[in-house]
Structure 1
Amino acid sequence: MFSGVLDVLPLERAVLGAFAELVRGPVADVGCGPGHVTAHLAALGVEAFGIDLSPEMVGIARRAHPGLRFEVGTMTALEVEDGVLGGVLAFYSIIHLPPGEVAGVFGEFARVLAPGGYLLIGFFAGDESAFDHKVAVAYRWSVDRLVELLRDKGFVEVARMVREPYEGERPFQQGQLLVRKG
Protein backbone atom coordinates (compact mmCIF):
# COMPACT_ATOMS: atom_id res chain seq x y z
CA MET A 1 0.00 0.00 0.00
CA PHE A 2 2.79 2.47 0.87
CA SER A 3 5.77 0.99 -1.00
CA GLY A 4 5.91 3.69 -3.71
CA VAL A 5 4.42 6.60 -1.78
CA LEU A 6 7.70 8.53 -1.54
CA ASP A 7 7.98 8.47 -5.34
CA VAL A 8 5.21 11.07 -5.52
CA LEU A 9 6.24 13.15 -2.48
CA PRO A 10 9.23 15.26 -3.56
CA LEU A 11 9.07 17.63 -0.59
CA GLU A 12 9.03 14.79 1.93
CA ARG A 13 11.95 13.14 0.12
CA ALA A 14 13.85 16.44 0.40
CA VAL A 15 13.18 16.69 4.14
CA LEU A 16 14.17 13.05 4.66
CA GLY A 17 17.33 13.71 2.65
CA ALA A 18 18.26 16.67 4.87
CA PHE A 19 17.57 14.56 7.97
CA ALA A 20 19.81 11.80 6.57
CA GLU A 21 22.64 14.28 6.05
CA LEU A 22 22.35 15.70 9.57
CA VAL A 23 22.11 12.57 11.72
CA ARG A 24 25.18 10.92 13.17
CA GLY A 25 24.62 7.42 14.42
CA PRO A 26 21.73 4.98 14.26
CA VAL A 27 18.18 6.12 13.53
CA ALA A 28 14.99 4.51 14.83
CA ASP A 29 12.03 4.79 12.47
CA VAL A 30 9.30 4.67 15.10
CA GLY A 31 5.95 3.52 13.77
CA CYS A 32 7.69 2.24 10.65
CA GLY A 33 4.71 0.38 9.23
CA PRO A 34 5.78 -1.67 6.20
CA GLY A 35 9.33 -0.29 6.33
CA HIS A 36 9.39 1.81 3.16
CA VAL A 37 10.78 4.93 4.87
CA THR A 38 13.30 2.88 6.87
CA ALA A 39 14.50 1.44 3.55
CA HIS A 40 14.62 4.93 2.02
CA LEU A 41 16.85 6.17 4.85
CA ALA A 42 19.08 3.09 4.53
CA ALA A 43 19.43 3.78 0.79
CA LEU A 44 20.63 7.27 1.75
CA GLY A 45 23.39 5.73 3.88
CA VAL A 46 21.70 5.95 7.28
CA GLU A 47 22.02 3.10 9.79
CA ALA A 48 18.23 2.86 10.15
CA PHE A 49 16.03 0.30 11.84
CA GLY A 50 12.26 0.15 12.25
CA ILE A 51 9.98 -0.26 15.24
CA ASP A 52 6.24 -0.80 14.97
CA LEU A 53 3.47 -1.78 17.36
CA SER A 54 1.92 -4.16 14.82
CA PRO A 55 3.56 -7.59 14.46
CA GLU A 56 1.86 -7.85 11.06
CA MET A 57 3.52 -4.65 9.83
CA VAL A 58 6.89 -5.77 11.16
CA GLY A 59 6.43 -9.05 9.28
CA ILE A 60 5.63 -7.19 6.06
CA ALA A 61 8.65 -4.92 6.57
CA ARG A 62 10.98 -7.87 7.19
CA ARG A 63 9.78 -9.64 4.04
CA ALA A 64 9.99 -6.51 1.89
CA HIS A 65 13.40 -5.41 3.25
CA PRO A 66 15.21 -8.54 4.49
CA GLY A 67 18.55 -6.77 4.95
CA LEU A 68 17.16 -4.32 7.51
CA ARG A 69 16.25 -4.69 11.17
CA PHE A 70 12.61 -4.37 12.25
CA GLU A 71 11.26 -4.92 15.75
CA VAL A 72 7.87 -5.01 17.42
CA GLY A 73 7.70 -2.27 20.02
CA THR A 74 5.89 0.78 21.27
CA MET A 75 6.92 4.42 21.07
CA THR A 76 5.69 4.96 24.62
CA ALA A 77 8.44 2.67 26.00
CA LEU A 78 11.22 2.15 23.46
CA GLU A 79 13.52 -0.79 24.11
CA VAL A 80 16.54 1.38 23.33
CA GLU A 81 19.26 2.47 25.74
CA ASP A 82 19.46 6.09 26.89
CA GLY A 83 21.26 8.51 24.59
CA VAL A 84 22.40 6.08 21.90
CA LEU A 85 20.52 7.24 18.79
CA GLY A 86 21.61 9.89 16.33
CA GLY A 87 18.05 10.28 15.14
CA VAL A 88 14.44 9.34 15.60
CA LEU A 89 11.93 9.44 12.77
CA ALA A 90 8.20 9.52 13.52
CA PHE A 91 6.80 9.75 10.00
CA TYR A 92 3.02 10.01 10.44
CA SER A 93 3.11 7.74 13.49
CA ILE A 94 2.26 10.22 16.27
CA ILE A 95 -0.99 10.96 14.44
CA HIS A 96 -2.61 7.97 16.13
CA LEU A 97 -1.70 9.00 19.67
CA PRO A 98 -4.36 10.63 21.82
CA PRO A 99 -3.24 14.22 22.45
CA GLY A 100 -2.64 13.52 26.13
CA GLU A 101 0.06 10.95 25.30
CA VAL A 102 2.16 12.99 22.86
CA ALA A 103 4.26 14.89 25.42
CA GLY A 104 5.23 11.62 27.12
CA VAL A 105 6.29 10.13 23.80
CA PHE A 106 8.42 13.21 23.07
CA GLY A 107 10.09 12.63 26.44
CA GLU A 108 10.79 9.04 25.40
CA PHE A 109 12.32 10.25 22.13
CA ALA A 110 14.52 12.68 24.09
CA ARG A 111 15.63 9.84 26.37
CA VAL A 112 16.96 7.66 23.53
CA LEU A 113 18.57 10.46 21.52
CA ALA A 114 22.20 11.41 22.03
CA PRO A 115 22.89 15.08 22.77
CA GLY A 116 22.56 16.95 19.49
CA GLY A 117 20.51 14.11 17.97
CA TYR A 118 17.68 14.90 15.57
CA LEU A 119 13.98 14.10 15.58
CA LEU A 120 11.90 14.37 12.41
CA ILE A 121 8.12 14.23 12.74
CA GLY A 122 5.65 13.94 9.85
CA PHE A 123 2.01 14.73 10.62
CA PHE A 124 -1.26 16.17 9.43
CA ALA A 125 -1.21 19.89 10.21
CA GLY A 126 -4.25 21.81 11.29
CA ASP A 127 -6.65 22.59 14.05
CA GLU A 128 -5.80 19.81 16.51
CA SER A 129 -8.90 17.80 15.79
CA ALA A 130 -9.58 14.08 15.39
CA PHE A 131 -10.66 12.37 12.17
CA ASP A 132 -11.29 8.86 10.89
CA HIS A 133 -8.24 7.24 9.34
CA LYS A 134 -7.69 3.90 7.61
CA VAL A 135 -5.96 2.38 10.62
CA ALA A 136 -7.45 4.13 13.67
CA VAL A 137 -8.58 7.55 14.81
CA ALA A 138 -5.97 10.14 13.86
CA TYR A 139 -5.27 13.70 14.94
CA ARG A 140 -4.18 16.88 13.21
CA TRP A 141 -1.65 19.07 15.01
CA SER A 142 -0.77 22.73 15.07
CA VAL A 143 2.93 23.08 14.26
CA ASP A 144 3.31 25.71 16.98
CA ARG A 145 1.71 23.42 19.57
CA LEU A 146 4.05 20.55 18.65
CA VAL A 147 7.05 22.90 18.91
CA GLU A 148 5.86 23.97 22.36
CA LEU A 149 5.55 20.36 23.55
CA LEU A 150 8.97 19.52 22.10
CA ARG A 151 10.60 22.59 23.64
CA ASP A 152 9.31 21.42 27.03
CA LYS A 153 11.25 18.17 26.48
CA GLY A 154 14.52 19.94 25.63
CA PHE A 155 14.28 20.11 21.84
CA VAL A 156 15.21 23.08 19.67
CA GLU A 157 13.40 23.72 16.39
CA VAL A 158 15.62 23.45 13.31
CA ALA A 159 13.10 23.59 10.46
CA ARG A 160 9.44 23.19 9.61
CA MET A 161 7.55 22.60 6.41
CA VAL A 162 3.82 22.76 5.87
CA ARG A 163 2.43 22.03 2.43
CA GLU A 164 -0.98 21.87 0.87
CA PRO A 165 -2.34 18.42 -0.04
CA TYR A 166 -1.61 16.96 -3.43
CA GLU A 167 -4.47 15.74 -5.59
CA GLY A 168 -5.83 12.49 -4.17
CA GLU A 169 -4.55 13.08 -0.62
CA ARG A 170 -6.72 13.80 2.38
CA PRO A 171 -7.75 17.47 2.31
CA PHE A 172 -5.34 18.39 5.12
CA GLN A 173 -2.09 20.26 5.16
CA GLN A 174 0.94 18.03 5.63
CA GLY A 175 3.59 18.99 8.17
CA GLN A 176 7.22 18.06 8.71
CA LEU A 177 9.04 19.27 11.81
CA LEU A 178 12.78 18.83 12.39
CA VAL A 179 14.12 19.41 15.91
CA ARG A 180 17.43 18.81 17.67
CA LYS A 181 17.98 17.60 21.22
CA GLY A 182 19.59 20.45 23.17
Structure 2
Amino acid sequence: MNAEGHDATRRSYDTVAEKYAARFRDELAAKPLDRALLASLVEQTPPGAPLADLGCGPGHVAAWIAGTGAAAVGIDLSAAMVSAGRRAYPDVEFREGDLLALPAADGEFGSAVAFYSIIHLAPSELPRAFAEVHRTLRPSGLFLVAFHVGTQVRHLDEWWGHEVHLDFQFLEPAHVAGLLEDAGFAVEMRMERVHLPDEVDTRRAYLLARRTAGSAVSGGAEPPGEPAE
Protein backbone atom coordinates (compact mmCIF):
# COMPACT_ATOMS: atom_id res chain seq x y z
CA MET A 1 0.00 0.00 0.00
CA ASN A 2 1.42 3.38 -0.99
CA ALA A 3 0.70 6.83 0.42
CA GLU A 4 -2.42 7.04 -1.72
CA GLY A 5 -3.74 3.88 -0.08
CA HIS A 6 -3.13 5.26 3.38
CA ASP A 7 -4.90 8.48 2.42
CA ALA A 8 -7.91 6.47 1.26
CA THR A 9 -8.00 4.62 4.57
CA ARG A 10 -7.73 7.90 6.48
CA ARG A 11 -10.52 9.54 4.49
CA SER A 12 -12.77 6.51 4.86
CA TYR A 13 -12.47 6.40 8.63
CA ASP A 14 -12.87 10.18 8.83
CA THR A 15 -16.16 9.73 6.99
CA VAL A 16 -17.63 7.11 9.33
CA ALA A 17 -15.97 8.21 12.60
CA GLU A 18 -19.10 9.38 14.41
CA LYS A 19 -21.19 6.33 13.51
CA TYR A 20 -18.28 4.04 14.26
CA ALA A 21 -17.79 5.62 17.70
CA ALA A 22 -21.47 5.21 18.56
CA ARG A 23 -21.64 1.62 17.36
CA PHE A 24 -18.47 0.27 18.96
CA ARG A 25 -18.35 2.33 22.16
CA ASP A 26 -19.49 -0.57 24.35
CA GLU A 27 -18.27 -3.52 22.31
CA LEU A 28 -15.87 -4.81 24.99
CA ALA A 29 -18.83 -5.43 27.29
CA ALA A 30 -19.69 -8.42 25.07
CA LYS A 31 -16.10 -9.62 24.60
CA PRO A 32 -14.87 -11.28 27.81
CA LEU A 33 -11.89 -12.87 26.04
CA ASP A 34 -10.68 -9.52 24.72
CA ARG A 35 -11.07 -8.01 28.18
CA ALA A 36 -9.10 -10.87 29.74
CA LEU A 37 -6.27 -10.45 27.24
CA LEU A 38 -6.18 -6.71 27.81
CA ALA A 39 -6.21 -7.20 31.58
CA SER A 40 -3.26 -9.57 31.26
CA LEU A 41 -1.42 -6.99 29.19
CA VAL A 42 -2.09 -4.27 31.76
CA GLU A 43 -0.96 -6.53 34.60
CA GLN A 44 2.35 -7.22 32.87
CA THR A 45 3.04 -3.57 32.01
CA PRO A 46 5.39 -1.88 34.50
CA PRO A 47 3.55 0.59 36.78
CA GLY A 48 3.60 4.07 35.34
CA ALA A 49 4.65 2.95 31.85
CA PRO A 50 2.14 4.06 29.20
CA LEU A 51 0.31 1.43 27.18
CA ALA A 52 -0.24 2.27 23.50
CA ASP A 53 -3.42 1.45 21.58
CA LEU A 54 -2.26 1.43 17.96
CA GLY A 55 -5.00 2.09 15.45
CA CYS A 56 -7.22 3.10 18.35
CA GLY A 57 -10.18 4.41 16.35
CA PRO A 58 -12.45 6.44 18.65
CA GLY A 59 -10.58 5.17 21.69
CA HIS A 60 -12.89 2.71 23.44
CA VAL A 61 -10.13 0.13 23.98
CA ALA A 62 -7.71 2.79 25.22
CA ALA A 63 -10.46 4.05 27.55
CA TRP A 64 -10.99 0.55 28.96
CA ILE A 65 -7.24 0.35 29.62
CA ALA A 66 -7.30 3.75 31.31
CA GLY A 67 -10.21 2.56 33.43
CA THR A 68 -7.88 0.00 35.04
CA GLY A 69 -5.67 2.82 36.26
CA ALA A 70 -3.01 2.39 33.57
CA ALA A 71 -1.77 5.27 31.44
CA ALA A 72 -3.14 4.87 27.92
CA VAL A 73 -2.06 6.52 24.66
CA GLY A 74 -4.28 6.09 21.60
CA ILE A 75 -2.78 6.54 18.13
CA ASP A 76 -4.82 6.57 14.94
CA LEU A 77 -4.43 7.55 11.30
CA SER A 78 -7.82 9.28 11.21
CA ALA A 79 -8.06 12.83 12.57
CA ALA A 80 -11.82 12.44 12.99
CA MET A 81 -11.36 9.29 15.05
CA VAL A 82 -8.78 11.04 17.24
CA SER A 83 -11.15 13.98 17.68
CA ALA A 84 -14.01 11.67 18.68
CA GLY A 85 -11.75 9.95 21.20
CA ARG A 86 -10.61 13.20 22.77
CA ARG A 87 -14.21 14.33 23.23
CA ALA A 88 -15.40 11.05 24.72
CA TYR A 89 -12.39 10.07 26.83
CA PRO A 90 -10.52 13.08 28.25
CA ASP A 91 -8.43 10.82 30.52
CA VAL A 92 -6.74 9.23 27.48
CA GLU A 93 -3.97 10.87 25.49
CA PHE A 94 -4.62 10.71 21.75
CA ARG A 95 -2.18 11.26 18.91
CA GLU A 96 -2.71 11.28 15.16
CA GLY A 97 -0.21 9.06 13.39
CA ASP A 98 0.59 6.24 11.00
CA LEU A 99 1.61 2.71 12.03
CA LEU A 100 4.62 3.06 9.74
CA ALA A 101 5.90 6.17 11.52
CA LEU A 102 4.54 6.17 15.05
CA PRO A 103 4.50 9.57 16.83
CA ALA A 104 6.38 8.25 19.85
CA ALA A 105 9.89 8.24 21.25
CA ASP A 106 12.18 5.23 21.29
CA GLY A 107 11.23 2.99 24.21
CA GLU A 108 8.31 5.20 25.26
CA PHE A 109 5.71 2.49 25.84
CA GLY A 110 5.61 -0.32 28.36
CA SER A 111 3.36 -2.38 26.09
CA ALA A 112 1.12 -1.99 23.04
CA VAL A 113 -2.06 -3.41 21.56
CA ALA A 114 -3.28 -3.37 17.95
CA PHE A 115 -6.77 -4.78 17.50
CA TYR A 116 -7.68 -5.10 13.80
CA SER A 117 -5.50 -2.22 12.65
CA ILE A 118 -2.69 -4.04 10.80
CA ILE A 119 -5.39 -5.36 8.43
CA HIS A 120 -5.29 -2.03 6.61
CA LEU A 121 -1.62 -2.42 5.75
CA ALA A 122 -0.25 -4.14 2.69
CA PRO A 123 1.58 -7.35 3.59
CA SER A 124 4.85 -5.74 2.44
CA GLU A 125 4.36 -2.99 5.03
CA LEU A 126 4.10 -5.28 8.04
CA PRO A 127 7.87 -5.56 8.70
CA ARG A 128 8.16 -1.78 8.88
CA ALA A 129 5.12 -1.52 11.15
CA PHE A 130 6.49 -4.18 13.51
CA ALA A 131 9.88 -2.45 13.52
CA GLU A 132 8.12 0.73 14.62
CA VAL A 133 6.32 -1.09 17.44
CA HIS A 134 9.64 -2.61 18.49
CA ARG A 135 11.30 0.82 18.44
CA THR A 136 8.68 2.41 20.68
CA LEU A 137 8.54 -0.41 23.25
CA ARG A 138 10.74 -0.66 26.32
CA PRO A 139 12.96 -3.73 26.71
CA SER A 140 10.79 -6.83 27.30
CA GLY A 141 7.65 -4.83 26.42
CA LEU A 142 4.62 -6.80 25.24
CA PHE A 143 2.70 -6.39 21.99
CA LEU A 144 -0.81 -7.86 21.61
CA VAL A 145 -2.13 -7.95 18.04
CA ALA A 146 -5.43 -9.25 16.64
CA PHE A 147 -6.46 -9.76 13.02
CA HIS A 148 -8.70 -11.76 10.69
CA VAL A 149 -7.35 -15.16 9.59
CA GLY A 150 -6.90 -15.99 5.92
CA THR A 151 -5.24 -14.83 2.75
CA GLN A 152 -7.97 -12.87 0.99
CA VAL A 153 -8.50 -9.15 0.69
CA ARG A 154 -12.02 -7.81 1.18
CA HIS A 155 -12.89 -4.42 -0.24
CA LEU A 156 -15.56 -2.04 1.01
CA ASP A 157 -16.79 0.92 -1.00
CA GLU A 158 -19.93 1.70 1.02
CA TRP A 159 -20.32 1.68 4.79
CA TRP A 160 -23.42 2.81 6.70
CA GLY A 161 -24.55 4.83 3.70
CA HIS A 162 -21.20 6.56 3.21
CA GLU A 163 -18.82 6.14 0.30
CA VAL A 164 -15.50 4.66 1.45
CA HIS A 165 -12.49 2.95 -0.08
CA LEU A 166 -11.15 0.34 2.34
CA ASP A 167 -9.22 -2.88 1.91
CA PHE A 168 -9.22 -5.48 4.68
CA GLN A 169 -6.22 -7.79 4.46
CA PHE A 170 -6.65 -11.21 6.09
CA LEU A 171 -3.46 -12.74 7.44
CA GLU A 172 -2.07 -16.15 8.35
CA PRO A 173 -0.98 -16.36 12.02
CA ALA A 174 2.22 -18.30 11.27
CA HIS A 175 3.29 -15.63 8.78
CA VAL A 176 2.58 -12.78 11.19
CA ALA A 177 4.42 -14.62 13.97
CA GLY A 178 7.43 -15.04 11.71
CA LEU A 179 7.47 -11.33 10.86
CA LEU A 180 7.27 -10.45 14.54
CA GLU A 181 10.22 -12.72 15.30
CA ASP A 182 12.18 -11.14 12.45
CA ALA A 183 11.47 -7.72 14.00
CA GLY A 184 12.96 -8.72 17.36
CA PHE A 185 9.99 -10.22 19.21
CA ALA A 186 9.45 -13.60 20.83
CA VAL A 187 5.88 -14.82 20.33
CA GLU A 188 4.59 -16.13 23.67
CA MET A 189 0.94 -16.86 22.86
CA ARG A 190 -1.09 -17.74 19.77
CA MET A 191 -4.85 -18.07 19.90
CA GLU A 192 -7.68 -18.31 17.39
CA ARG A 193 -11.43 -18.08 17.83
CA VAL A 194 -14.59 -18.03 15.77
CA HIS A 195 -16.64 -14.88 15.41
CA LEU A 196 -19.17 -13.84 18.03
CA PRO A 197 -22.87 -13.54 17.09
CA ASP A 198 -22.68 -9.79 16.48
CA GLU A 199 -19.38 -9.91 14.57
CA VAL A 200 -18.59 -10.41 10.91
CA ASP A 201 -18.23 -14.08 10.01
CA THR A 202 -14.44 -14.41 10.13
CA ARG A 203 -11.96 -16.38 12.17
CA ARG A 204 -9.82 -14.20 14.45
CA ALA A 205 -6.25 -14.62 15.66
CA TYR A 206 -4.44 -13.11 18.63
CA LEU A 207 -0.68 -13.08 19.07
CA LEU A 208 1.15 -11.90 22.19
CA ALA A 209 4.79 -11.08 21.54
CA ARG A 210 7.55 -9.79 23.79
CA ARG A 211 10.30 -7.45 22.69
CA THR A 212 13.35 -9.66 23.09
CA ALA A 213 15.40 -8.71 26.13
CA GLY A 214 18.64 -7.12 25.10
CA SER A 215 17.62 -6.57 21.48
CA ALA A 216 18.50 -3.20 20.05
CA VAL A 217 15.78 -0.67 19.34
CA SER A 218 15.00 -0.99 15.64
CA GLY A 219 14.44 1.94 13.33
CA GLY A 220 11.30 1.81 11.26
CA ALA A 221 12.06 3.07 7.78
CA GLU A 222 -12.30 -5.34 9.45
CA PRO A 223 -14.23 -6.79 6.25
CA PRO A 224 -17.56 -5.85 4.58
CA GLY A 225 -20.56 -5.90 6.87
CA GLU A 226 -19.35 -4.59 10.19
CA PRO A 227 -15.73 -4.77 9.12
CA ALA A 228 -13.63 -3.18 11.79
CA GLU A 229 -14.08 -5.53 14.73
User: Contact (CA 8 Å) 1:20, 1:45: kept in 2 or not?
Assistant: no
Alignment-derived partner of residue 172 in structure 1: 202
SS of 2:101 mapped into structure 1: coil
**2:170 equivalent among 136, 140, 145:** 140
Q: Which residue identity is paired with 2:178? A: E
Could you report, residue by residue, the CA deviation over 1:20-63 in whole angstroms, capped at 9, with x for unpaired residues? 11112111111110000000111122211111111100010011
Gaps of 5+ in 2: 1-22, 213-229
Alignment-derived partner of residue 7 in structure 1: 29
User: Contact (CA 8 Å) 1:89, 1:121: kept in 2 or not?
Assistant: yes
Shift of 1:179: 0.4
Alignment-derived partner of residue 216 in structure 2: none
Task: Please say if 1:157 is aligned against 2:187.
Answer: yes
User: Contact (CA 8 Å) 2:76, 2:95: kept in 1 or not?
Assistant: yes
Q: Which residue identity is paired with 2:205? A: G
CA distance, structure 2, for counterparts of residue 35 and residue 122 of structure 1: 16
Shift of 1:109: 0.5
CA distance, structure 1, for counterparts of residue 120 and residue 92 of structure 2: 25
CA distance, structure 1, for counterparts of residue 50 and residue 79 of structure 2: 22
Task: Please say if 1:72 is aligned against 2:102.
Answer: no
Gaps of 5+ in 1: none
Alignment-derived partner of residue 47 in structure 1: 71
- So what's the TM-score if we normalise by structure 1? 0.95
Aligned length: 181
Identity of aligned residues (%): 39
Could you report, residue by residue, the CA deviation over 1:67-116 in whole angstroms, capped at 9, with x for unpaired residues? 22111111111121112211111111111111110111001101111110
Alignment-derived partner of residue 23 in structure 1: 45
SS of 1:6 mapped into structure 2: helix
CA distance, structure 2, for counterparts of residue 155 and residue 172 of structure 1: 26
Q: Which residue identity is paired with 2:192? A: V
Q: Which residue identity is paired with 1:156? A: A
RMSD: 1.2
Shift of 1:139: 1.1
Shift of 1:132: 2.5
- So what's the TM-score if we normalise by structure 2? 0.76
User: Which structure has the larger Rg?
Assistant: 2
Q: Which residue identity is paired with 1:130? A: V
